[in-house]
């Protein structure tokens, strides 16, 4: 018995040794995954989500290495949801790369800044760097004094390129429906009428990835500025103007008007933007609400597509100017705790210089954040760039995401003919009150 | 000596115990701890809120409970239709139809496919503009289905997702039920047959009573699997249209994705408790039914 026990103990001890070795090997593999990323041969590591810019970024990194001897490695993680999750996990594990982006709203960016993960670049930007950028994207990368998150005022991000949203329209399909492709609708009634004509001609008039919610929100937001003005939008967020106000009901009702005119392509309420882009690129929808990135997407899907862009047609009786969604940028942030912080900042300064920005814009068909490089853009992109002036201003306050979620979901309900604008307005207001009471 | 034996035994289970503690016990405890805090997933500090998150989830979050209802609807359909189909096919295969192996493989094919792949394939099938379902229906003269958005219409979206979930899941039930059927001694059927029992009587008096433990397993797996549906919803509708296909896990994911980790964890705990209660009720009901029979 004692022999057996002694044998057992020996066996158990050897088992424990094997387990310890296994644990050590596993830990070594796991840590090597991270240390591999921080190997000495690489000076700056950048995590990004922009799959369409992967090759161009790599090419630019090669050029930079040739010029300076500094090795920059771009690592792509997509889709953007997965990228955000990776950034969050890396934050907890203290494994953030030298350059990254939290990819969230202002609240999220503020959380990263306040936790000391994102460097304040104001000092570097003030030495002339910021002069090369469009004003809006820089503003979207900054926090101003008195911001609602108590973040120290300053510039925290480096804009790479700018986006804004407009309506793309297929010139051929417009012609087919008897519409003038060189004179797209400029007012809301003209827009609805154009939709009716397109539908009568057997063409699906309008498509967008409203299944993603925020795209419907972005579309209606142009009219929020048009009908309520900047102060009205701010007052709503501050709770001074209820969502049940008749003007809000009217804003939500715009989607209802579009639905009644038969404007929406089939399946819009759950459609993701990739599918909406495919529908427009293949000529199955005449108009598409999409961002400036669409130029590159449509080119890759159908290089022969003949299209133009137009602003969302304004409401004829609205008091305020229509402002389009956009002005923000794909921007990158520097890890404040990185030992390679200075090298990372130097690289980003180089990346946003004229030559690199022109190359990036040309190769990826995006609007560069550097305003001096817009001459090389295609006519459509130049139009997008020119309209950056009429993009919505950065607000000092943002709506709670839960209220926005109910708002976007409500918009889908109207598109799907499931709820009336009045019902949706009540639901948004009730969520607003619920959120306020929970605080 | 006794102590040495104890120590050696403990050493044997130590690796497994360590793994269990690190990967199960610690996250479990941490989940409860996190549910009492407000935390954005980024900040270095968390704010203690006590039971406030629970109060809000339980009494002030109708969307969460609506999503629970949506998952309940999918589960109910799966329990009835999916399992009935699985049982029917299992009985047919058990009765010795030709090409049994072919059917076994075919029926088990959907469960081994990735959820996201299934979601994308079915999304394409349902697509109002390119989908083969509408193409087939309009080809058969049902012109009203031209451009019909199965997943974007409020009336059909949730059922549309449920159909895919049942298609994907019935293979599991089929395999387990088939194994249960094959475990019933053939002699029972032979003697019943000699005694003049009809096929229906044999099914009712022999198959059903002896299959109750298997039914319990299948129904619990169905409940847990259906209530926790996520990938299909995310791949097909993202909770839309109008939030009608949101289920608890997509709501939890939504909160986590928006930096409400503490609140999302509370939702997860509440959801876990609901599943536990449903499973216990299910076991209890099945046990009583078994005793009656």
pLDDT band (50, 70, 90) for residue A8 = low
What number is the average pLDDT over the span B232-245?
92
Size of interface A-B (CB pairs under 8 A): 129
Q: Which residue has the tokens 């249960």?
A: B180
Cross-chain residue pair B241–A266, CB shorter than 8 Å: no
What number is the average pLDDT over the span A401-417?
95
Cross-chain residue pair A213–B258, CB shorter than 8 Å: no
- Residues B237 and B161: beta-carbon distance below 8 Å: yes
CA–CA separation, A368 and A386 (whole Å): 12
Check pLDDT > 90 for residue A214. Answer: yes
**pLDDT tens for each residue of A159-188:** 999 999 999 999 999 999 999 999 999 999
Check pLDDT > 60 for residue A109. Answer: yes
| pLDDT score of A178 | 96
Least confident of A4-8, A139-143, A239-243: A4-8
Cross-chain residue pair B14–A265, CB shorter than 8 Å: no
Cross-chain residue pair B5–A267, CB shorter than 8 Å: no
Least confident of A237-241, B92-96, B274-278: B92-96
CA–CA separation, A248 and A245 (whole Å): 5
Tell me where in chain A the CATH 3.40.190.10 domain(s) lie. 44-163+328-382, 164-325+397-438
- Where are any strands of DSSP class E within A49-190? 72-76, 99-100, 142-143, 154-155, 158-170
CA–CA separation, B136 and B157 (whole Å): 19
Phi-psi region of A133 (alpha: psi -120 to 50; beta: other; left: phi over 0): beta
Question: Most B CBs within 10 Å: which of A267, A272, A417, as the mutation test of the B interface?
Answer: A267
Cross-chain residue pair B1–A114, CB shorter than 8 Å: no
Q: Please tell me which residue of chain A has the smallest CA distance to B157.
A: A270
Give Cα A303 distance to the centre of its chain: 24
Nearest Cα to A409, choosing from B119, B127, B245? B245
How many CB atoms neighbour CB A437 within 10 A? 9
Cross-chain residue pair A266–B128, CB shorter than 8 Å: yes
392-431 in chain A: CB under 8 A from chain B: 401-402, 405-406, 409-410, 412-413, 415-419
Q: A164-325+397-438: which CATH topology?
A: D-Maltodextrin-Binding Protein; domain 2 (3.40.190)
Cross-chain residue pair A270–B240, CB shorter than 8 Å: yes
186-245 in chain A: CB under 8 A from chain B: 204, 211-213
Phi-psi region of B260 (alpha: psi -120 to 50; beta: other; left: phi over 0): beta
What number is the average pLDDT over the span A3-25?
61
Cross-chain residue pair A269–B238, CB shorter than 8 Å: no
The tokens describing B108, both together, are: 């088990």
What number is the average pLDDT over the span B261-271?
96
A161 — phi, psi (to 5°)?
-145, 165
Check pLDDT > 70 for residue B223. Answer: yes
| pLDDT score of A4 | 47
Question: Most B CBs within 10 Å: which of A12, A22, A252, A270, as the mutation test of the B interface?
Answer: A270
Question: Most A CBs within 10 Å: which of B42, B59, B119, B157, as the mutation test of the A interface?
Answer: B42
Neighboring chain A residues of B119 at a CB cutoff of 8 Å: none
- Residues A391 and A136: beta-carbon distance below 8 Å: yes
pLDDT band (50, 70, 90) for residue B286 = confident
Neighboring chain B residues of A16 at a CB cutoff of 8 Å: 11, 14-15
Give Cα A33 distance to the centre of its chain: 29
- Residues B263 and B79: beta-carbon distance below 8 Å: no
CATH architecture of the region A44-163+328-382: 3-Layer(aba) Sandwich (3.40)
| pLDDT score of A6 | 54
ipTM over 0.85: no
Q: What does the mean pLDDT of chain B come to?
A: 91
CATH number for region B51-292: 1.10.3720.10
What number is the average pLDDT over the span B28-32?
92
271-290 in chain A: CB under 8 A from chain B: 271-272, 275, 279, 284
pLDDT band (50, 70, 90) for residue B240 = confident
Q: Which residue has the higher pLDDT, B8 or A347?
A: A347
| The model scores a pTM over 0.90 | no
Please, what is the Cα angle at A196 between A195 and A198, to 5 degrees? 65
What number is the average pLDDT over the span A326-345?
93
């Amino acid at each position: 018995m004692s022999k057996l026990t002694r044998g057992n103990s020996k066996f158990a001890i050897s088992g424990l040794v094997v387990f310890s070795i296994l644990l050590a090997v596993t830990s070594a593999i796991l840590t090597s995954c991270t240390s591999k990323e921080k190997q000495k041969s690489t000076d700056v590591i950048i995590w990004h989500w922009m799959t369409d810019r992967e090759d161009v970024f790599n090419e630019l990194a090669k050029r930079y290495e040739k010029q300076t001897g500094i090795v920059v490695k771009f690592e792509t993680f997509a889709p953007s949801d997965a990228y955000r999750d990776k950034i969050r996990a890396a934050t907890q594990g203290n494994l953030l790369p030298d350059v990254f982006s939290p990819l969230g709203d202002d609240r999220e960016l503020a959380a990263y800044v306040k936790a000391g993960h994102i460097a304040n670049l104001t000092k570097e930007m003030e030495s002339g760097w910021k002069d090369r950028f469009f004003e809006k994207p820089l503003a979207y990368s900054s926090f101003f004094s008195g911001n609602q998150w108590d973040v120290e005022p300053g510039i925290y991000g480096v804009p790479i390129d700018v986006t804004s949203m407009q309506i793309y329209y297929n010139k051929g399909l417009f012609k087919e429906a008897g519409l003038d492709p060189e004179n797209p609708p400029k007012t809301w009634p003209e827009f609805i009428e154009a939709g009716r004509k397109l539908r009568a001609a057997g063409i699906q008039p309008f498509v967008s990835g409203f299944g993603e919610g925020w795209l419907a929100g972005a579309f209606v937001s142009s009219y929020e500025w048009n009908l309520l003005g900047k102060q009205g939008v701010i007052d709503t967020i501050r709770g001074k103007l209820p969502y049940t106000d008749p003007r809000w009901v009217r804003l939500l009702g715009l989607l209802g008007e579009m639905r009644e005119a038969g404007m929406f392509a089939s399946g819009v309420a759950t459609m993701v933007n990739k599918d909406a882009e495919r529908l427009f690129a293949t000529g199955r929808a005449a108009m598409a609400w999409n961002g400036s990135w669409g130029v590159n997407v449509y080119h890759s899907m159908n290089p022969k597509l003949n299209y133009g862009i137009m602003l969302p047609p304004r409401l004829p009786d609205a008091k305020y100017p229509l402002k389009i969604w956009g002005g923000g940028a794909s921007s990158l942030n520097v890890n404040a705790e990185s030992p390679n912080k200075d090298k990372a900042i130097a690289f980003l300064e180089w990346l946003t210089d004229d030559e690199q920005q022109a190359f990036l814009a040309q190769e990826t068909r995006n609007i560069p954040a550097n305003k001096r490089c817009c001459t090389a853009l295609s006519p459509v992109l130049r139009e997008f760039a020119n309209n950056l002036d009429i993009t919505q201003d950065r607000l000092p306050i943002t709506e709670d995401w839960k209220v926005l979620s109910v708002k976007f979901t409500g918009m889908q309900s109207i598109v799907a003919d499931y709820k009336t604008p009045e019902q949706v307005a009540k639901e948004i207001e009730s969520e607003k009150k619920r959120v306020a009471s929970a605080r | 000596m006794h102590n040495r034996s104890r120590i050696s035994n403990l050493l044997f289970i130590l690796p497994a115990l360590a793994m269990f503690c690190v990967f199960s016990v610690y996250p479990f405890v941490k989940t409860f701890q996190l549910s009492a805090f407000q935390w954005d997933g980024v900040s270095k500090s968390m704010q203690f809120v006590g039971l406030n998150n629970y109060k809000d989830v339980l009494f002030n979050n109708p969307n969460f409970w609506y999503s629970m209802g949506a998952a309940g609807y999918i589960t109910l359909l799966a329990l009835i239709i999916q399992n009935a189909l699985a049982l029917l096919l299992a009985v047919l295969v058990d009765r010795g139809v030709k090409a049994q192996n072919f059917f076994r493989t075919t029926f088990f094919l959907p469960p081994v496919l990735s959820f996201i792949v299934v979601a994308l394939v079915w999304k394409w099938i349902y697509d109002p503009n390119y989908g083969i379902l509408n193409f087939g229906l309009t080809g058969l003269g049902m012109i009203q289905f031209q451009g019909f958005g199965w997943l974007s219409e409020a009336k059909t979206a949730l059922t549309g997702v449920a159909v895919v979930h049942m298609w994907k899941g019935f293979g599991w039930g089929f395999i387990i039920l088939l194994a249960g059927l094959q475990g019933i001694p053939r002699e029972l059927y032979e003697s019943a047959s000699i005694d003049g029992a009809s096929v229906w009587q044999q099914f009712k008096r022999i198959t059903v009573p002896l299959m109750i433990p298997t039914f319990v397993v299948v129904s619990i797996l169905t409940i847990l699997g259906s209530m926790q549906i996520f990938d299909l919803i995310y791949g097909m509708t993202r909770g839309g249209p109008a939030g009608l296909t949101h289920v608890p896990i997509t709501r939890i994911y939504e909160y986590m994705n928006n930096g409400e980790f503490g609140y999302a964890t509370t939702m997860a705990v509440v959801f876990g408790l609901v599943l536990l209660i449903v499973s216990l009720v299910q076991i209890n009901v099945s046990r009583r039914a078994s005793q009656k029979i």
